Amino acid sequence: MQQAAVKLTKEKRLILISLFIILLYLSPLIVLGDNAHIRVQDNLDSNVAWYTVLTRSHELFGPLNAVIPQVMNGLPRGAYESEFRGIVWLYALFPTMTAYAISQTITRFAAFLGMYLLLKKRFLKEQDTSLIRVGVALAFALTPFWPSGMLSTLGQPLALWAFLKIRNREHSWREWTVLALLPLYSSFVLGFFFFLTAMGLLWLRDGIKKRDWNPVFFVGIAFMTAIYLAIDYRLLSGLALSSAPTSRTEFVESQNGFWYSMGLAVFNFLFGHNQVLTMHTPVILPIISIALIVVFNQKSQKVHKRILYLIGFNFALSLWYAFWFYKAWEPLKQRFSILTMFNFGRFHYLHPLTIYVSFALALYILWMLGGKWQKRVRFYVVAQVILLLFCNDEIVYRVYGQPSVKQFYAVNQFQQIRDYIGLPQESYRVASIGLHPSIAQYNGFYTLDSYVNYYPLTYKHEFRQIIAKELDKSPDLQTYFDQWGSRCYLFVSELGKNYEFTKNSIVKINHLQLNTAVLKAMGGKYILSAVPIMNAEEEGLQLLNIFDDPQSAWRIYLYEAK
């Protein structure tokens, strides 16, 4: 009893140390605030501004046919998050970086709790494996997940813990509470659709193989799915239930050949994907490889079979992801629009869960070898945690030279532009060149351009007329816009797919060709350009002023369409 108590105390101590490390990881957001450096792609260039625009629009609880007038002359309300999503309320109630820091805190602590419970209750129950349980849970909580995904991937261990207890008929109010609350702070289409599909397949397997058609397990899956569908009623109405064509109608994804797809599968298995980064390549993969050597010499143990299943499942996820873009799918995708409107290739969003459980099992296999291997396991855990600490956004994006949040949104500078124009912002429209439209949107400008999940196809075709000549000069941009188009930007062939030209840039546009007549017909009056346009007058654009600010990453050239 005394020995158990000592070990329990040790585990609690490890948990407290882990919680402190998570707080240390979050500290740049708390200490630096707007001066912190965070991810731009699919974050500052989109979601963060979306929450601000949605709150300001007074359409948070708008009807199904409501629009957001600030974006694209009336973006459907369903293109933004549901009012029942927790992250929306954080941005409605708090300043941007306070909301961001709270969101990160919720997500990372929930991730730690979920992985710890899953390992302790299901995979590593032995008392002397506390270091592995706590260490892997800490590492999982530090992974550089996609911020607006919330608990879409990092909440999966907690959900799996709850579902496995329900499956084993050990459930209580706690498990059902988890299933009820997780949908409020995660995404169905960007995580839990794939997780719940996996749970459905597990239920089906139990029924077929074990003859156990567990009704409570099935009800749990249906219960959580129903909550997600209720929360995402706007998205369902705007895409799945609406007959109006959207920008997603023209998506063309499946163009890759067989060997390219195989290479993509291997790459995904080895390095992961930027929206579900696991940072498993330098430490975790070698550890799993060493554990596999042990497994092949000791085939009988149950834990060995589990890790083999998980590794095979991980590779199957990578194969599915890669071959979702295989050209053989295209005829089916053209026939069934749901295959283009929804990305079924994202089953690899299960990778963070499966990879870190595999890591825990691999460490356990090595730990059981005893002797020096236990010291090595301690080193491997620490190595992975240190690696992830150096993947902190503040370190990564500062090293890459990306602007801070304050520099990116440049509030003071855009207030100067607004005051210089001197008109009510709702009375005119702007578009941006060389910088993301989200910056103008964040600062209250009404934009013709945007980066959104979907928008009316008629608008895409109308907007295309503005940039048609520029697209003709660049096959890459033409394919990018015509076959995807979620970034509805003023593309310029000389700039390519670069939207972050800072004030230190020496780039100039020499031969811009825009249809300014269509721009004006759509309400466009001003262009905010991060680079000078040398033939502006020939294109019917008049340079009004140049704006610079020490707290901004940009130099803005304000042009008026004459």
Look at residue 180 and tell me if it is in a domain: yes
CB 522 within 8 A of CB 469: no
Residues 205, 334 share a domain: yes
Contacts (Cβ under 8 Å, ≥6 apart) of 135: 14, 18, 363, 381, 382, 384, 385
Using DSSP's 3-state secondary structure scheme, residue 530 falls into coil
DSSP-assigned letter for residue 559: E
What confidence score (pLDDT) does residue 8 get? 56
Residues 237, 143 share a domain: yes
The pair of three-digit structure tokens given for residue 552, joined into one six-digit string: 């901004």
pLDDT in tens, 149-188: 999 999 999 999 999 999 999 989 999 999 999 999 999 9
For residues 558 and 98, give the distance between their C-alpha atoms in angstroms, rounded to a whole number. Answer: 31
Q: Is the pLDDT of residue 7 over 50?
A: no
> What's the structural domain count of the chain?
2
CB 196 within 8 A of CB 97: no
Q: Please state whether beta strands 67-68 and 75-76 pair in parallel, antiparallel, or not at all (unpaired).
A: antiparallel
- Mean pLDDT over residues 453-462, rounded? 95
Look at residue 240 and tell me if it is in a domain: yes
pTM of the predicted protein model: 0.93
What confidence score (pLDDT) does residue 305 get? 83
Residues 265, 170 share a domain: yes
Residues 339, 456 share a domain: no
What confidence score (pLDDT) does residue 380 get? 96
Residues 379, 262 share a domain: yes
pLDDT in tens, 58-76: 999 999 999 999 999 999 9
Q: Which H helix or E strand runs over 430?
A: strand 429-433
Mean of the per-residue pLDDT values of the chain: 93
What confidence score (pLDDT) does residue 166 get? 97
Beta bridge partners of 68: 75
Residues 468, 380 share a domain: no
Q: Beta-strand (E) ranges in 11-143?
A: 67-68, 75-76
Query: What is the residue range of 327's domain?
Result: 139-400
Identify the band that residue 255 occupies on the pLDDT scale cut at 50, 70 and 90: confident
Residue in the structure block whose two tokens are 């059981």? 368
pLDDT in tens, 376-434: 999 999 999 999 999 999 999 999 999 999 999 999 999 999 999 999 999 999 999 99
What confidence score (pLDDT) does residue 88 get? 96
Residue in the structure block whose two tokens are 């995708």? 333
Considering 354, 377, 400, which residue would you say is the last residue of a domain? 400
Considering 351, 373, 400, which residue would you say is the last residue of a domain? 400
- Mean pLDDT over residues 482-488, rounded? 94
pLDDT in tens, 297-352: 876 566 678 899 999 999 999 999 999 999 998 888 888 878 887 889 899 999 99
Residues 333, 196 share a domain: yes
By residue count, the chain amounts to 562
Q: Is the pLDDT of residue 137 over 70?
A: yes
For residues 86 and 235, give the distance between their C-alpha atoms in angstroms, rounded to a whole number. Answer: 16
- Decide which of 243 and 504 is more confident: 504
Residue 25: burial class (beta carbons within 10 Å; 0-12, 13-18, 19+): buried
What confidence score (pLDDT) does residue 442 get? 97
Residues 358, 426 share a domain: no
Residues 215, 161 share a domain: yes
Look at residue 20 and tell me if it is in a domain: no
Residues 463, 417 share a domain: yes
The pair of three-digit structure tokens given for residue 381, joined into one six-digit string: 């855990």
Of the candidates 136, 121, 119, which has an alpha carbon nearest to the alpha carbon of residue 18?
136
What would the 3-class secondary structure string for 378-428 be? HHHHHHHHHHHHCCCHHHHHHHCCCCCHHHHHCHHHHHHHHHHHCCCHHHC
What confidence score (pLDDT) does residue 299 get? 65
Residues 430, 391 share a domain: no
Residues 360, 216 share a domain: yes
Q: Mind giving me the DSSP string for 31-53?
A: HHGGG----IIIIITTHHHHHHH
For residues 557 and 546, give the distance between their C-alpha atoms in angstroms, rounded to a whole number. Answer: 5
What confidence score (pLDDT) does residue 302 get? 66
- Mean pLDDT over residues 19-36, rounded? 97
What confidence score (pLDDT) does residue 1 get? 42
Considering 400, 430, 455, which residue would you say is the last residue of a domain? 400
Look at residue 133 and tell me if it is in a domain: no
